Structure formats: C-alpha cells, structure tokens
Structure 1
Amino acid sequence: MQIDKLISGLDLTSYIEQFQSFFSREENLYIQGDQELHYRYIKALDKLEFNTPPKVSDFFTIKNHLKKHGVLQFEQIFELVKVVRYFRYFKNKNLECIIGEWVEKIEIPQKFLEVEKYFDIQGNFEENLDENLFGLGQKIKEQKNEISSSLKRLMGSQKLSGYLIDTQIHFINNEECLLVRGGFNHVLKGAVVGRSTAGFFYVAPDVILKSKEKIRFIEQERQAIFYTYAKDFSKILEELLPFINFIDKEFSKFDNYQARVLFARSKNLQIIKSKNHKNIVLKEFIHPALHQAKPISVNFEKNILMVTGVNAGGKTMLLKSILAAAFMAKYIIPMKLNDVKSEIGTFKDIDAIIDDPQNVKNDISTFAGRMQQFSQIFLKKQALIGVDEIELGTDSDEAAALFKVILDDLISRGQKVVITTHHKRLAALMADRDDVELLAAIYDEKDRRPTYEFMQGIIGKSYAFETASRYGITHAIVDEAKKVYGDNSEKLSLLIERGSQLERELKHKHKQVDEKLEELSKKELALKDEREALHKELEREKLKLKASYEEAINEAKKAARGGDIKEIHRAMNKANQKLPQEQKTELKRPYDFKVGDEVKYHSQSGIIVSMKAKSDATIDINGMKVRVKTKHLTPTKIIKQKPKTDIRVNVEKKAGLTCDLHGMRGDEACEVLDKFLNDALINGWDEVLIYHGIGTGKLSHAVKEFLKVHPKVKKFEDAPAHMGGFGAKVVSL
C-alpha cells in the first residue's frame, strides 16, 4: 500500500503504530469529510476531561447479519450496547460546547433500551429478569453443590486415602477431578482425563456423572431460552438498522477525535492541521524517530528547497522531517513543534524518493530506478516531493543538466520539491531562480563536526575529507586525496559558492528596489486620487457659494420692489446673513533656520551650531549643547555664517573590497598589501577581505605578521567557510 510505503520511508512506522493503539477499534488514518470541521471538534474535545471509550469490534459483520435476518450472538449485541452507553455517558455530562451540541442530537430509540437492559456492565446476561432462567440457574447451583459434596465424601474415604496425592478438587478440561497415584482403579471408578508432570492421574469419578448429566440437560434448556432472547433482540435491532448505521458512523468520527486528543496528551504533542496554501514553515519541529534531537526550524515557501552541505549533517533527516510534518498535518496526527509559529500547507499527494531503487532481480540499475520514480512524479499534480541524493547513480555533470531541466518542468506543473544534493553545479544552475531556496548544513570547522543546523541562502560544502577523517580514515590517505583533488578544484568550489551567494544577494536587492518603486507608484496614485477628490470638493463649494449669492440677490431684489425703506433694510440684513462670511486666516511661513542663527529655546537663548535635516538642530546655551526640534525655537538675531574652507582630495579609486595574494612571495605580498590597505583607508572602507591561500603556510604567516604591526588595523580573523575559511582573512580598519 502506497501510504504504508511512505510511512516506512519517512521513519514513522513505530510512531503511527503507537498512535493507532489509542483507537477503540481499527480506523483509517484519514478522516473523511470537512477537515476544518473535524479540527474544530478535536480542539473542542481537547479542552474536556473524559473517560476513554471502550474497545469495540467493527460493526460490519453485525450489520450484514441483520440485513440477512440473521441471529446475533450476545457478544455481538453487547458491542452495540457499549457504543450506545458511551454516547449516553457524554449526553449526561451536559456539555456546553460543540461536542455537547453534537451528542445531544443523538437520539437513542426506546426499543434499544428494551435490549440494553438485559446486559450488565461486563456484558453478562441479567438472568434475574427472567423467572425461568433464574430458576434453572438455581438448579444448576444445587447440582454443583451436590458434586462438591460427593467429591468431599470420596476424599474422606479410608479406602481412597492411600491413593490421593492431595485433598483438592482439580478442574481439567472443565471436569472436576481428583489427583491420584497408580492402582486407584481397585478402589475408585472413573475416567482418566489427564496426567500430571509427576506421572499421577487426574480422574473424574463416576459418582458425580448423574449430577453432571442433570446440569447438561438444564444448560440445554437455558441455551434454548437464550436463543429465543437472541432472536427477539435481533429482530428489534433489525428494525433499528438505520440507527445502528448512524451510531456506527458517529462513533468512528468520535474514535478518530479522541485518539488524537489522548495521544497528544500522553506525549505532550501539538495538534495542527494543514492550511489552504502551499507554504511550509516549521518552528522547533522534532521528528518522532529522533531522541534528544535539535529542533528543526525551516521556511519553505518557494517551489524548490535545495539542501546542500556537510556529509552526515542531517540533510536526509531534514527532508524526512519536512515531508513527515506535511503528512501528519494532512491527517491531523499530533506532532512535536511550536504550533503558534508553524504553518503547513495542503498537498494532494506526498511522495518520497529516498531509498536506492537498484533491483538485481528485475535487472534495474540505481539510475534507471530513479528515472522510473521520476516518471511517476510527472503524473501527479500539486504534490510535495522529497528526493534524497538526487544525483545518485550517474555522472555528475550530465546529472546536473538533466535534473535542472526536470526540476524546471516539475515547477511548471505546480509541484513542490525538497532535494538533498552534493552537486554544487546543479545547485549553481538552480540558484538563479526566484522560486528556489538554498539551504546549507553547517559544519563546525573548529570542532571538526556537523552542527545539525542549517543556514538559508547559501550552497554548502560537503566536507568529504573532514568526514572521512572523523569516521576513521587515516590522515595519510586523506592528505593524499586532497593533493589529488588539488587547489584549483577547491578554488572552483569556493567561486561557485561565492558567486551563487552574490547572485542571490543581488536579486534580493533588485527585489527590494522593485518593492520600493511599487510603493512609490502606489503613493503617487494615492496623491492623484487625493488631488481629484480635493478638486471635486472645490467645485462643490463653488456651486454652494454661487447658490448663496443668487439667493441673497433675490432677497435684495424682492426688498427693492416693496418700496418700504424699513422693509428694504430688513431684507438686506437677511440677504447679508445668507452670504458666506469671510474667514480671516493668517498664514505663517515656517522660518528657515540656519547654522549661526541666534535663537530662543523656552526661556534660554543660544546659537545654532549644527543641523540635521530641517527639523532637528543642536544649539549652544552657555557652553552646553542641546539637541532640539526647530519647531520649539524662536529666531532672535541672525548672525552671518563665517566662511568655511572646503578641501577635497581626489584619489583614484583603485582599491577593491578584496585583495588576492595567491602565488606571491612574502615581501612582495606585504608591499601589495600595504598599498591595498592605504587605498582602502582613503576610500573609507572599514572592512576588507584578503585571500592568501593555505599552501605551505609561509605566505599566511607573512600576512599575519604584517597585519599585527600595521597601525590602522583594528583586528583580523579567519574568514567564514563560504568566504575562504583558513585561506583568507577578514580585516577591520
């Protein structure tokens, strides 16, 4: 089964088995229906205290028997009773939440109560509710007492006492027996039903056969009554088949909910579900197969996540962790992570290409097997794919070109892919895409071991030589391998890593500029909209003003036609009131402060000695300098600024941020380095990078000694791994 293969490939088998042990009966991992609604019920149940549901069997066989008008056994009927009683237990809790609303809607038919009352809490039939059964039960007790008395009388017999091993009544194959030694047949008639380890005989005496026969007849009569009840119960339950189908479905849902809640509580896990997007953001995630592991935090929002870096640095487990988290979120399986800061998208399919597909039986190579696996991926849509060691099984240069095109095609199909690789060429080919995220496993060069941590945005080294030494390969072999590998190959690797990093940094800066331009465009559009709104407001005010003037003129004309002087004055006053009143506004132009102005700040007088922009100024008040806002200043007396002499030195900028001393002698390198540092100081740089290589160490020693005595060097240290490591120095000036 595909899901079982995925679970095994992601090292989740043991974890899923533990999870499934919390179910009351065997259920599918995936809950059919609205996942958002299921998640709400799970979170609501997680807030409640409740008893664990009983273990019950599947209702498939029970429902088929009822459909065919069959007769159920009491054990099967009790399985139904257990489920109904558990739901009644929840109904009696009177919960005020969506769980309470849900169970409240479950109506238990009265007819089912007629069946349920005949079973006690352990599932035994309540015989005291039937007079005949109760009477037959008493008769059986009487016969058993008679058997016990007969056996005790036998054991008290002097004839048999010499043959008895002990004075106990043994039950062998459901038969009451005495344990006796050989020769018992002279004094005891009975059937041998077994032998002890010491060679003695278990004998069922004939004196109790009559009582046993009576019990057998009584039991037959009881079983006939039980069968009658079973037929009656089955007939009632057949009529209640729609209710049984309903309660079966509801219990399956509840079983899925409670298993997740109780499993999370037992291991202090978090319950999250996948969200309606394609991003994966994990914070402090711990894979279930790891013990005392470092929590993983990764941001996988792009189409491709390419993981490079040190061997045995945790790349494969990171891949499995990302896929495992997506799988568990899809199936709402509890996991260990920071649920507040983590988000996991929804994927139709999740697939892992991890193991070596080589198969001798089918005559298939590693690379051919990989191609078969990739051909299946092309058939999927909106899937999350994990590929471990993508270059496995073929030439590295050919593989880089092939897998570059394959990954481009997968991106166009909407797939999301996590890859681990040691191919710097493939990583460099993919690094120029905006939808590819690089992640490098970090190596601690000081302690010479992986840190099991990751850094985004760079291509990592594999540290094959260091890993070989750490796992027991002799230094002589490793040193010889380094010579074969050569300095040029090492430089090429550094150039690929550095070039990829610079390219991604440049793209990031371009993206920031584009975002700034877009923001400015939005502000420009907003200003245009504001200007248009103000223009419309001005036009409305003009129309209102025109209407007011026309109304005032009409009032004046009306008064003039009346001829009465007093009436004319009253009309004119009324017209004047309707005219818009003039508002006197005094516009203040902000004073343009300059250095040297004499100003007043509250009750103190001072002089502006410097300014930052137009809003901030530093003033000198009786020898004390105070930085204030210019809006709090009042100009008093303007003092002409003294002329200043501006001296500018034009220096040809020949220096760069880096200085490469490879291949130089010590004295020659010091001379070049001295000129480089002088140019860097004139150009205003405070940090530079010097490449001297590792080699024999003479050039490195000369550079260190020169830097120690240089008066303008504050400090220097070995460069980070991706910038040259021990073969370079970062110098602070």
Structure 2
Amino acid sequence: MNDRILRVLEFNKIIEQLNSQAATTLGKDLVSRLKPSADIDEVKMLQEETDEAAQIVRLNAAIPLGGIVDIRASLKRSAIGGILTTGECLDVSTTIYGGRQVKNFIDNLEEELPILAGQVEQITPLRELETHINSCIDDHGHVMDSASHRLRSIRSSIRTFESRVRDKLESYTRSNSNMLSDAIITIRNDRYVLPVKQEYRGSIGGIVHDQSASGQTLFMEPKAVVDLNNQLQEAAIKEKQEIEKILKELSEHIASEEAPLYENVKVLAKIDFMFARAKLASKMKAAKPKINNKGFIKMQQARHPLIPMDEVVANDIEIGETYTSIVITGPNTGGKTVTLKMVGLCTLMAQSGLQMPALDGCEMAVFDDIFADIGDEQSIEQNLSTFSSHMTNIVKIINKVDDNSLVLFDELGSGTDPQEGAALAMSILDEVVSRNARVIATTHYPELKAYGYNRENVINASVEFDVETLQPTYRLLIGVPGRSNAFDISKRLGLDDKIIDRAKGHIGVDSKSVENMIASLEKSQLNAEKDYQEAHQTLLDSEKLREELEKEWTQLEQKRERLYKKAEEKAEKALNKARAEAEFIVEEIRKMKTTAGMKEHEWIEARKMLEEAKPSLSAKPKEKQAGRKSETKELQPGDEIKLLTANQKGEVLEKVNENEYMVQVGIMKVKVKRNDLQLIGKQKQTIEKPLATIKGSNYHVSTELDLRGERFEDALLKLEKYIDDALLAGYPKAFIIHGKGTGALRKGVQEFVKKHPRIASARAGSMGEGGSGVTVIELK
C-alpha cells in the first residue's frame, strides 16, 4: 500500500489511536511502523494475536508492562565497551523485572493462549544480572555504599572530612559573626566557604572563590580548612573513580547478556503491540474478522472507526460474492463518501491485524492493492483542474488494477460536462469491473442509476434522505438507487404547488418511471427491513424463552434429585435403626440359646439374611453441564437401566454387540448405544436356604445333622444314612451337631467320620460355626 492511500483513507489517525493504547516505548515503536500486509498468512496470524490479547482484555485483566524500557541503545553501547550510567543500568534491571512479571502473568492465566505462551517462553529471567544491578544502584539511580567495600570506606572518610570542615567553619560563624554577611556555611567550586563582608577580607584570611553580584560579599575558604577541603576533594575523586569502576563492571555484565536481553526486549515489544491492538478493539467495540483471499467483504452494522460512537450510523456492507461492484447514488452530504472511506479504512485495519468496528461474524478480504480517488486533489503547481487531477489519478489506477484490487471512486466523472462525465464514468466502471476488481463508486449522475440493472456483478445502492426533516439519515440502502428529492424538498420549503407541477411536466416520462420505481424499491426495502427486525426480535425472544425453560427444567431435575436423595437417606437411617435393634435382640436370644435349644449356624444364616435385607439405594449420578460421562460397564440381561435420551426407565433384554444393547422401555423394544444407557440396578438374584433334593425323591437334605439328645447307637445309624444322603445331594461340606455334653457322642462321631471312606477330612467348628459342639466334614 502506498503512503498516499494511507493518507487519503486517514489510516494515520488509526495509528495515533493505536499509539495511545501502547504502554511502552517499545510498543509505540512497533505501532509507528505498522503497515497493512498483503500476505494472507501474516494477516491471519496478526488477527489471532490480537484475538488472544483481546480475550485477556475482556476479562479486565491488566497485563503488567510497567518498568519496561527500550534499552537497545544501552545494550549496543555496553557491547562496544561503553560505560552505562546508573539510570541506564537501572533501566536494564526494571526491564528484566518487567519481563519476568509479564511471563508470570501469562503463565498463571487459565485460558488457552498458545501464541502468548509461546512468546513468554522466549523470555529469559536473568535474575543474577538483576540482583547485581539492584545491589549496586538504588531506586533513585544512586550508587549505594554497599556496591563495594572500597566505596563504603571512601564515603565514610568523606563524611568524616565533611564533619570536621563544618565544625571548623561553625566555630568561625560563632566567633566572627559580625564579619559575615550571614552566619551560614555554603559551597563554591565544591569547597566549603563562608560569606565574608568585603571589609573583613584581611581579618579572615584565606582563598576567595566567588563574590556576590554587588561585590559586598566574598565567599572565602579560611586557611584553617584548606587542608581539610583538599582531603575532602581527594576523597570525592576517589569516590568518582570507584563509582566508574562499579559501573564498568555492571556494563560488562550487561554486555555479556546482550543476546537474551535483546530477545526479551523484542518479545516484550511484540506483547505490548498485541495488547495495544486488543485495547483499541475493546475501545471500538470491535470484532475479530474472518480473513479470506477471495475478495469477499461482509460487515453487519459496520461503523466508521474515526466517527464518535454516539454520532456514527452503522450500516451493513457486502461485496465480492454475488456482486463485485457497488454504485452509490444520492444527494451530497448524505454519507456516500463516509461509506466509501469506511470500507477502505476497515480493509486497511483488517490487513494490519486490527479488529473490525462491526458485529461478530464479519468477514474481510486481503487485497494486493487498494486504490482510491477521493476528494479534490487539484494541483496548483501542476496547473491541473479538478477534472484533470481526478483523471490523472484514475489513469494510474487503471494501469495497475487487477482481480485482487479494491478500487474506491468518489464522485466518478465529476468536474466536467454532466453528459460526458456520466458516459466517461460508465466506461471507466466497465473497464475496472471487467478486470474483476472489487469496486465501490459514488456518483450524483442520474444516468448511473440504471447502471446496476444493465450490468452483471454490479448493484445499485443509495443513502437515505428524510424528506420530513430535510436531513440525510446516513443509512445505506443496498439494491436501491438514489432518487432526486428536489420536488419533495421544494414543497416542504413552501414552493407553490403550481410551480412544482409545471416542473414535473418538463421532465420526461422515462425519468418519472425511474423515480417511481426507485420510490417503490425504497418502500419495499424499508418494509423488508422492518419485517426482518421483527423476525429477529421474535428469534431473540424465543431464544430467551428456551434458555429460561432449560434453566427451570434443570432446577426441577436438581430438586427431584435432592428429594430422591433425602428420601433414600431417611430410609437408610430407618433401616440402620431397625438393624441395630435386630442385632440387639439376636444377641439377647443368643445368650439364652441353651434354654431355647437354637443352633449356632442358624444364627449365622439369620444374620446373613438380615444383611441381605438392606435395599439397594440408587445413587443418582450428577450430570455435568458440559455433557454426560460415558459408561463402559457391561450390562447383563435383566439389568434395570435408564434411557438417557428419553429420560425413561427400562430393562436390558440382550446384548447385540460390544457397543449396543436391545432394551425394553415401556411397550417398546429398541436397540440403543451403551453410552445412552445408565445402569440403575443389577438383576435381582434369589438367595435360597442351602437345601438339596435327592434325585428321584421329594426328600430334602439339609447341610447339617443334629444328633443332640440321641442315643449313641441311634446317632451313628442316623449319621451313616445322612452321609449317604449328603453324597447323593453333591454337598462338598456338612455340619454334624453333637453338642459338648460329656463328650462321648462327640468322640464317637469323630471316630466314625475318620474311618468313613467318602469323608476327606473333619475338623471342629470355628467360633462362628458352633465351636467344639459341631464337627465339620469335607466330603469326597
């Protein structure tokens, strides 16, 4: 883009606004060198950078760019062996600190910011250099006593000498106050002196260093303090030399880190530049545009960025897809040129990485060149008329324009005979349109009103004029050519109706038809826009209603879940209470089991059945707002499930494949993905008391045999028969209850089972099985 186009479209004013948003001289330097780019990849990257910074600006998070200074000149001086001043060294320190603050700020943000994260990754902390500088120079740029042991010693001696000189001179002020113009101690030529009256010069004695303007006062250094002042001067020279030595060491240290410091400065400059663009976008209430290289521009409610927001009129602009050229007609001061400049300036901004002052969803093209013929560029030096000046510029444009150019013509063909100017304007437009360039032209020639109807890829447009107020509304009407409002305006201003009717008779039938057609188009467009606004408002109301319903439904679901949970908690508390009471009763009965004649293993079974009596409380899963978490647990036929897509309960019938199941929901059988099913409860299994039926009979065999109270011989007969029955039932284990008593029956049972060929092993019962009153046998 040449400088003339940037000047004509007032891009320099955008640069000024952008410059005010930069926080550092580094960022301002990049802003001053900003030029629109014709490389689409570079433009897209610039837009991504601006958008990342805009995300942080929208969070009202202020990036800490304080203390960052342009230290590149100081780095260059230190690299060639120059000694930096204390201020320059301090600038290096604050820049290192500022870079570290920026790095920490970006690293601590939760948002995904790949560009900024990549930038701060390149910042080197350089803590050692920062500490070295800060240990030598304070915040005011003074070298501190702690910078070196020698400097501390020298300054200590300086304070001693100053104190002795002041003591001497104060004795003079006390004893010879009548000889002094003022009883004070002052400094001349870096030496402590007294203001002595001219007539007492000889009485005081010493060296005269200065005198007052009147000559009545001499500033004298008494002989008694000459040696002390000399010593003080020598110490001051040593102090200066030591400070130079310290600064030299610091400069050398800075020079050794020249490369990372340059890189830090480069990164910080770019980050400040990114945030300057983002802050300008926030100020303009701008949006990130989608970038293309197809010459397509689309902006909704676009505003001229240099007109105050409370004054500017927003307009919709679209060009490059269904049509490549727009011809805007209408009265002067109606806003045609403002629209022309807005499109050109927004294009320059987009190609510079700046966001658009329009609604979200805007799209901008990247052009190789933008050409503009706007305003009266009459050249007195070249003795060119307005028409000649315009034509000279247009000739240059036609020589360079191609299919990737944006061309802006303001009042094309003006400055000459209207008939010839209109014909010339149409011919110029034909040439530029034929090259497939994107063209926006303004004109006041009525002949061009029909131009868009007779050419492909060309559309008419106009700026609206309110006849009632006799003021332009600055609204752009695409598809409607501008019409003359002379008769309406004249009537509003009081011109007699007869004169207006006579004037209407002088114009041709074709002109009347065109004006009527334009009026009809304007009315149709206004009605269409009104309908669109009403439809858009209805859509917004519907969206709002949908959001409210979703919110209420979510609250209802949450309330239902809370009630479920509360009911289940209440049930569980009641069950726990009942279990505790049952446990207490069982313990009480167990204590009386000898009198009740109950068996140990029956208590065990009763306890187990009590545990199994606990109902399965459904834990309602919490669904995340972002979406439900998929379940991968395999389901079995008979499992109770919830179909999430229909919010209905059902039962699993069969597994179709690894990811699908056939389920019954109400009266329907449907095939459903596993992720759409939520397990509520597993298939209930019936737990029966361990009894078995001997094949071929209705006789049930228990897993236990109670021999208590039986005679010894009868007990052994029953035991033998029981073992046969247990073997037929296929039991692996059985319990022989013989009690403790005298031990005779227990001993007889144990001897019998040891000799039985089908008994693998035998043991006494455990504490939970009845202890020594029970023998547990393992069957083969």
TM-score normalised by structure 2 residue count:
0.53
Partner of 2:102: 90
Q: Which residue of 1 aligns with 2:311?
A: 293
* Match of residue 369, structure 1, among 389, 394, 406: 389
> 1:492, 1:294 → 2: CA distance?
36
Q: Distance in 1 between matches of 2:346 and 2:435?
A: 23
Is 1:179–1:201's contact at 8 Å kept on the other side of the alignment?
no
Cα deviations by residue, 1:343-382 (Å, 9 ceiling, x for unpaired): 3332333343323111111222222221222233232552
Q: Which amino acid aligns with 2:415?
A: G
* Residue number in structure 2 paired with 1:270: 286
Amino acid at match of 2:62: F
What is the rounded CA distance, in whole Å, between the counterparts of 1:140 and 1:240 in structure 2?
35
Q: Distance in 2 between matches of 1:325 and 1:37?
A: 17
Deviation at 1:446, TM superposition (A): 1.7
Residue in 1 aligned with 2:149? Answer: 131
Q: Give the aligned partner of residue 405 of structure 1.
A: 427
The Cα of 1:71 is off from its aligned counterpart by 4.0
**Out of 435, 442, 445, which is 1:423 matched to?**
445
Matched, 1:321 2:342: yes
Q: Output the amino acid matched with 1:320.
A: K
Aligned twin of 1:312: 333
1:123, 1:213 → 2: CA distance? 28
Which AA in structure 2 matches 1:337? A
Residue in 1 that maps onto 2:269: 252
| Local SS of the residue matching 1:108 | coil
5+ residue gaps, structure 1: 507-733
Going from structure 1 to structure 2, the CA distance change for 1:314 and 1:230 (only over 3 Å counts) comes to same
1:677-692 paired onto structure 2 within 5 Å: none
Which deviates more, 445-454 or 87-96? 87-96
* Structure 1 position 360 matched with structure 2 position 377: no
Q: By how many angstroms is 1:299 displaced?
A: 2.1
Alpha carbons of structure 1 residues 468 and 9: separation in structure 2 relative to 1, 3 Å: farther
Greater CA drift, 300-309 or 485-494: 485-494
Question: What amino acid sits opposite 1:418 in the alignment?
Answer: I
Is the Cα–Cα contact under 8 Å of residues 308 and 441 in structure 1 kept in the other structure? yes
> Which of 343, 357, 362 does residue 342 from structure 1 map onto?
362
| Contact 2:119–2:267, Cα closer than 8 Å, also in 1 | no
SS of 1:261's equivalent? helix
**Shift in alpha-carbon separation, 1:202–1:481, aligned structure 2, 3 A:** farther
Deviations 1:673-716 (A, max 9, x none): xxxxxxxxxxxxxxxxxxxxxxxxxxxxxxxxxxxxxxxxxxxx
Contact 2:297–2:318, Cα closer than 8 Å, also in 1: yes
Whether contact under 8 Å (2:467, 2:485) holds in the other structure is no
* Equivalent runs, 1:35-46 vs 2, <5 Å: 35-46=46-57
Secondary structure of 2:125's counterpart equals coil
Letter in 1 for 2:363: E
Measure, in 1, the Cα distance between the counterparts of 2:421 and 2:169: 87
The change in CA–CA distance for 1:446 and 1:81 in structure 2 (over 3 A counts) is same
For 1:50, the equivalent position in structure 2 comes to 62
- The structural deviation recorded for 1:256 is 0.6
One-letter amino acid of the counterpart of residue 315, structure 1: K
Q: Is the 8 A contact 1:9 1:354 kept in 2?
A: yes
Task: Supply the distance in 1 between the matched residues of 2:171 and 2:280 (Cα, whole angstroms).
Answer: 58
Give the alignment of 1:588-607 within 5 angstroms: none
Structure 2 SS opposite 1:275: strand
1:214 shift after superposition: 5.2
1:222 equivalent to 2:239? Answer yes
Equivalent residues in 2 for 1:268-667, closer than 5 Å: 269-273=285-289, 275-277=291-293, 278-291=295-308, 292-302=310-320, 303-333=324-354, 336-338=357-359, 340-378=360-398, 379-381=400-402, 382-461=404-483, 463=485, 487-489=505-507, 493-497=511-515
Go from structure 1 to structure 2 and tell me whether the alpha carbon gap of 1:398 and 1:240 turns closer, same or farther (over 3 Å shift): same
| Cα deviation, residue 254, structure 1 | 0.8
Contact in 2 for aligned 1:83/1:251 (Cα 8 Å)? no
Deviations 1:135-156 (A, max 9, x none): 3334444556667767877776
Looking at structure 2, the residues matched to 169 and 226 of structure 1 have their Cα atoms a distance apart, in angstroms, of 28
Structure 1 length-normalised TM: 0.56
Separation of aligned partners in 1, 2:461 and 2:198? 83
Change (3 A) 1:392 1:86: same
In structure 2, what is the Cα distance between the partners aligned to 1:224 and 1:331?
A: 51
Partner Cα separation in structure 1 for residue 96 and residue 198 of structure 2? 57
SS of alignment partner, residue 21 of structure 1? helix
Shift of 1:283: 3.0
Letter in 2 for 1:41: E
Report the CA distance between 1:88 and its aligned residue: 1.1
Change (3 A) 1:69 1:307: same
Q: Which deviates the most, 405-414 or 415-424? A: 405-414
Question: Distance between the aligned counterparts of 2:303 and 2:341, measured in 1?
Answer: 11
**Which structure is larger by alpha-carbon Rg, 1 or 2?**
2
Contact 1:179–1:203 (Cα < 8 Å) also in 2: yes
Change (3 A) 1:271 1:341: closer
Match of 1:107 among 124, 135, 141: 124
Distance 1:468 1:186 in 2: 101
Residue correspondence of structure 1 range 119-268 to structure 2 within 5 A: 119-121=137-139, 124-142=142-160, 159=177, 163=181, 206=221, 216-265=233-282, 267=283
Deviation of 1:309 (Å): 1.2
Q: Could you say which structure has the greater relative contact order, defined with CA pairs below 8 angstroms and 6 or more residues apart? A: 2
1:309–1:228 distance in 2 versus 1, CA, 3 Å:
same
Q: Distance in 1 between matches of 2:246 and 2:18?
A: 39
Question: Is the 1:440–1:460 Cα contact (8 Å) retained in structure 2?
Answer: yes
Deviation of the 1:321 alpha carbon: 2.0
Which runs of 5 or more structure 2 residues have no equivalent in the other structure?
Answer: 525-780
Distance 2:313 2:447 in 1: 30
CA distance in 1, matches of 2:268, 2:203: 62
With over 3 angstroms needed to count, the CA separation of the structure-2 counterparts of 1:233 and 1:159, relative to structure 1, is: closer
Q: Indicate if the aligned counterparts of 1:275 and 1:345 stay in contact, CA closer than 8 A.
A: yes
Q: Note the C-alpha offset of 1:295.
A: 3.0
Letter in 2 for 1:136: I
Q: How does 1:701-720 map to 2 (within 5 A)?
A: none
Judged with a 3 Å threshold, the aligned counterparts in structure 2 of structure 1 residues 55 and 129 are, in CA distance, closer, same or farther, namely closer
User: How far 1:467 sits from its partner (Å)?
Assistant: 7.9
What CA distance in whole angstroms lies between the structure 1 residues aligned with 2:194 and 2:368? 69
Conserved? CA contact 1:75–1:123, under 8 Å: yes
The Cα RMSD (Å) is 4.7
Partner amino acid, structure 2, of 1:240: E
Any conservation in 1 of the 2:161–2:232 contact (CA below 8 Å)? yes
Distance 1:341 1:462, change over 3 A: farther
Counterpart residue number, 1:79: 91
Superimposed CA distance per residue, residues 33-63 of structure 1 (whole angstroms, 9 cap, x where no aligned partner)? 5325423532344347234413655455345
Cα-to-partner distance string for 1:82-134 (whole Å, 9 max, x where unaligned):
33212211333442443345424533357645644444455554441311222
What letter is aligned with 1:38? E
* % same residue: 20
State the aligned residue count: 494
Residues 432 and 179 of structure 1, relative CA distance in 2, 3 Å threshold: farther
